[in-house]
Amino acid sequence: MSSKVKYYTKWGVGTDSQGKKHYVTVVGKMTRDKVKVSLPEETFVVDENGKRRDAVLVVDYPQTVKNFTMARAICDPQDEFDEEYGVKLATRRIEEDKVIGTLSSSYVTMLNDDQCRGLVETEVEHICKNIDTYIG
């Protein structure tokens, strides 16, 4: 079914143990899809002889599912930082499934704009504070 897509971006600077600065770009991609969900429900039917028989009724209905996926790009300290290139690289990594991770929810209040922005910001902060872990 149809999909709605929205991107979130944030960048920051992490200084490694040797004093070199690394620019970190994180991109989050939110997709909102309608999927078909099948819900079984136990019931009964009465056959042609009037006898009650157990049965399962399966109802298909559309449900909105949100998926939020993030990827990162880290600029080498020898290169000049280019925010646009960092966003393109992290976005390409999402499309190539080289991601940090994906969250998914069908609950209406989950993965809203504020939460998605917060996830991207938190990831940038974490990488910047622990940059040596990510550049090794």
The residues near 67 (Cβ < 8 Å, ≥ 6 apart) are 30, 31, 33, 102, 103, 104
Q: 2 falls in which pLDDT band (50, 70, 90)? A: low
Long-range contacts made by residues 81-86, C-beta under 8 angstroms, separation at least 24?
81/23, 83/11, 83/25, 86/11, 86/23, 86/25
The pLDDT, as a whole number, for residue 38 is 85
| pLDDT digit string, tens, across residues 62-79 | 888 999 999 999 999 999
Read off the pLDDT of residues 86-108 as tens digits, 9 standing for 90 and up.
Answer: 999 999 999 999 999 999 998 88
At 93, phi and psi to the nearest 5?
Answer: -65, -35
pLDDT tens digits for 41-66?
899 899 999 999 999 989 888 888 99
Amino acid symbol at 109:
T
| Dist CA 12 CA 10 (whole Å) | 7
pLDDT at 1 over 70: no
Q: Average pLDDT for residues 105-122, to the nearest whole number?
A: 94
Q: Report CA dihedral (112, 118, 124, 126) to the nearest 10 degrees.
A: -120
